[in-house]
Structure 1
Amino acid sequence: MSTVARPNDYLYDPLFTVSGEKDYYKAAMAAKLSSAKYAICPIFPNMFSDLPHQPRQVIVMRKTNSVPQFEQLPQLNKSVDIHGVDRYKFFHCVTTPKYVFTPPSSPQKSTRKRNKIVQTKYRESSAQTIPWQPSNYIITDDSNPELLMLDFLKWGSGLPAGMHEVRLIERARMKRAWENSLPPVTDEASLEKRRALTEAMERDEWAFREQEIQDIQDLRLQLLVEMLNELHTKSHVRTEMKLKSFCKTKLAEKDEKLKTLRRNADREMRKLEMKHRGIKTSYHPVDVIDECIDRKSELYAPFLRHGENPKRWHQVIDEDSKQYKAQYMGVEDVGTLPRWLDEATLIKDSSINLPGTRLCIRETKWTSQVLKELHDDLKVLRKKEKPQKCSLKVKKEEQEIPMASTPQVQEGDDVEEQLHQSVMLIESVLRGRASQVLIFEGRDRCRELIQELRSTHALQDNEREKIFYERLKVKSHQREYALCVKNARMLKESLNKLSSNVVGTLLDFLNKELRRLLDERRIHAMCLAFERERHNREAAEAGRRQAELRRRKEHDEIFKQVAKVTQDSVDLYLEGIITEGMEFTSKTEATDYVKRLAGKIDEEVHFQDHKSTYEEEEELIANLVHNFLLPEAEKTIIRDKIKKKQHNRLKAAHDCIYSQYDHLPKAEPKRMRHSKVVKIIINIEICSHGR
């Protein structure tokens, strides 16, 4: 099996780069697996078996190429030949030299001490994690330094020293002083006294140790209470978020349902309105343009349930069309159109009476037949004969839907109306005066606050500076308080990490995640087996389906090619006949039009030659000069002026570009920087405006 890249590139390839630490470890793990001697091969039939004689997997040994041994070649320390082959490294030929005068410097003597800058391979974030400590040395005299007795304090575990460490150091000093003050053992009484002092010292040590343990337990209890409070707070916040999300989801569902109901109601109202107007959308004329644009119409994909479409009967191969041969004479006498075309294209009277397409009653009442019958009836009445039954059918007018009546107010006397208007005016004035009085009362009540605001806004410069410095002081205090809170939070987080409950919770979480991972792998293997079976069945079914579709496409293509031959032949023949007729007709009409126009022009010229006077000829010449010659001359002058202006601006732009081009450094690449391009464009605009 071929691999995408060499497995050991992360070790030997200097150009191998990854995006992070995880990707590097992934590459290292892939390299280790590729160089492993053994591989685990699963047995798919026994994937879910627990029997010992039917294992799930087997370990197979494979051939791998181990990592080759790296031999570092000795580096050749070769001295640099400045005047020889390495001379080109120390000289540079500048294309545009800049001559700078430098005064001759006097040679300085090299001192024995020099300052050097050393760059370590460690960064500041990873270096100097533990402060430097001097090496131990042996003291020759008989003194006992106290520093050697503090070996129980280390950096990160007791150092830097706090209040607790200072107390421990003081107790150690007291213990050493107590040990020095113990009486020597000379007799039994001194031994008993020494034993009593030792027991008292031990009781004091045990009491101090118990107090330390109690303090640690109190601190743990406090951390546990804080952790429980934090868990309760998080649970409460999580519950509120769930409730908000649920409410938001339900509100969205409600809005969607309301929108659907409103849309359905609008649709039903439109249907009722169209039904009330007597409009039916079932019957409408076919739009040929929309039918050609829409690729889903029956023009491109006809429905089989509609049967054979008469529009495509010309594609059917007829017996008469088979007789057509281009090499025979008299081919125009052969009938190429099908026999049923005359009958199919015959326009018949439509007897469909739609409720929305009939005319109004006034237009359909007095027809010729009705007028004739009415004339006969009038003749009978004039002759006083027995009248016959009139066959006039009067159509009933459609009843209009009564609209809601507009409410009306009884008209009163003018005096009462004027009195009513006066009362309304007085009421509005009284309301305005009452609101004005309320505003004045509020102003009097808050007069002290208004004066205070005016005094604060009209402070002097010294007072404003004092307020500004006080504000800065308050902000600095706030910043220090924020830093203290941040440090306390960091200390709290570090203590939470050290608590035993957190460790237990982490272990429980890891155990649950391990179980979940095992279950997920088992379910994944089961899904792989089912997916493989489904793919096999789909592949078999897809093969049969593709064969059927391929066969159907072949038959359809054969039928289209056969039908297209006759259609193309008929189209070419009809197109030639129509084109020839159109050309002949257009040529004849153009010739007649030109002849008529020339005759009219000759008659007009002849008439003007005989009837026009000298003043009319001068007026005609003046009109021609004013309408044709003068505008053309003015246009020519304006074009020349525009060309001169453009030429001057173009020349100024070229001068600016070439002047900037001479000062550009030739050692830079061809692509100029954005700032230089902007400067050149600005200079061009300035020059063009100046010209």
Structure 2
Amino acid sequence: MYELSSEKDHAKANVQAHLMSDKMKKMPIFKTMFSSLMHYPWYNLRLEERNPVPPFIDQRWRGRAQQRLEVLQQLSRSQPSLQIPQIVYEDPEISGRNRYKYFERTEPYVYPSITSDRSRSPTSRTLGTQTDYRDGEAQTDPYSPEYVVPLGSIPELLTLATLTWGRGLPAGQAEVEMIERAREKRAWEATLPPLSDLSQTEKRRKMMDDMERKEWTFREQEIEKLQDVRLEVLKKLLRRREEDQNEVDVNRLDTHWFNRQQDKEERVRKIKHEHIKAMRKLIAKGKNVEGKLERRDVIRDYTDYASQPYGPLSRIGYFPDNHSERYVVKNHFLNTYEGLLELEASLPHSVTQPQTKAPKPKTTTTKEGFIKRTSRLDMELAQVHQALLEKKNKVKEPKKPLHFLQKITKPVPRPLTPILLRPSTVSWIFLEVFTVNPMFEGKEKRLELIRELRTTHALQEDGKLLKKAEKQVTLALQRQRDLHEHKLSLVENHLARIEGRALVNMFDFLSKELVRLQEERRIHAFAMLAERQRRIQEAEESGRRQVEERRRREEDEIFKQVVKVHQSTVDSYLEDVILNSMESTAEEQAREEIQKVAVEINDIAYEMESRRTCLQSEEIVAELVYGFLIPELQKISVKEKGKEANTEEFHLCRHLMEENMQPCEQLVPASTDPPEHWLSPTVSASPGPSRAASVVLLKPHCVHRKH
């Protein structure tokens, strides 16, 4: 016997997989397990590694074949002729290797669970008790017993069935008046002519019209009373609202004034603080106007007892009161008697023996002899003060005796009225105690019996009539009281309804207005804060951007300069190194080559000197004469010949120039420069024949310029 998963199990697993999508699990924190604060949570969320797919199901991608099969299944809905290949599932091998998955050993010895005998719940139980000593203490309406109405009778009590507890009961004056009017109306209806009597139809209509007018008059009076009451209530509400509004205005003004006072005090405090700070800065600047930096003079600080070492400022973090024991003065002159005597002897005489001088009297007159205005005012004030003191301390004068006495004649006395002597107070008290009080106490003790005898055993006709009259009076008073209470309850109900409606409307309006004002102020405050925050952020961002741009330019320039300096330093350093190395290398190589050549030449010279003969010496002398001496003599002779030729050519050119310059001097008489001015430097600078030729060639050009 084995079991397979049904469609119901698959649906249940599918629903659980969809519903249990929350993979987050709450893990409690031991330290803050019972915390309800947001910044100290009592749990952490942990991702639970739970896979709803069973492990025996392959979750790998099934490839193109599965997609092709799904597409064919979708197309088969619209094209029934399309054939879908059947899916061949793997053999589950129920009776083979997978037998343990489907079969389970039964338990033959299974005992039913022992059911414990449960105690039956009681049929009733007491939730609480209530002891009522009066009907007024009960929470429900008073008990009304069942009744049966006899045929043909209409009890008056049934007409009052609409009156319930809290709505007409207990009856007041208004209810009593309503009952009396209902009785009068029933009595009036009894006096109406019957409808069957057509001869008295007019009389019946007239009586009904009169009754209707009376009812309308009564109704109008009630409406007027209600209107008056409503008007009074409205006046009272308006007066109360005005008082409340005045109180609110006063409170608002007081709050505003208090806030303004606080702002004023805060501003004054800040201004004083800024003033003190500015004065301190000015004093500090005034001490060093020229701005020179001075070193601290320790000697000056310790000679000045108002300096920082003796009296440091508390704003720099030093409080002298913390170390008050340091400033305890211990002096021989103050702690001993001999020291005090010595100190007193050292003091001058004017210190121990004070001298008092009488003050000079104030002058009340001027130099001209007139009284000063201030002195005159002081005198007038002193006179007024003295008059007030005399009036205050004035003692009443005693009555003086009469100077002239007059005799007053008395009228003739009337005869005495006879007086009936009453018993004394003591005798009256004894009489009351022994006679009246026992009778009163007996009457109070037997009051119930007396009432019972009066109600049940009143056999005399006079007693019955008296009892009936008392009953009627009592009932009338009760009706009047019930009607009055009913009217009062109606009036109170109307007043409460009107007052409640007005209060509800007023409170509703005020609450809505308050909420609207609060929301408006909150939105305005949020808008102002957002605008202010935006402006502050824009200003900060613009300032930050400018600072960053300036800093970036400075850093770029610094980097360029540093790199340039480094590059130039490296280039100059490398160039110096290379040049030094080249010079040193070239110098060393040249020195080595020169030394080598000198050594070789020296060796050759020594060798030739050692091998030279007389003939070779003569040949060397001949070569020197023919190679150096004779050519030098030829050069000197050639130079001398050239100088002589140049001198002859110079004289010739000068003669020709003087002849050609005469017409130019006639054309330009203002010219004072001689012709030699132009040619002398050139001639003097031209030692050879080539320079003389150049001078001759320049002659026509100079003449052309002069023309």
**Greater relative contact order (Cα 8 A, min sep 6): structure 1 or 2?**
2
TM-score, normalised relative to structure 1: 0.29
Structure whose CA Rg is larger: 2
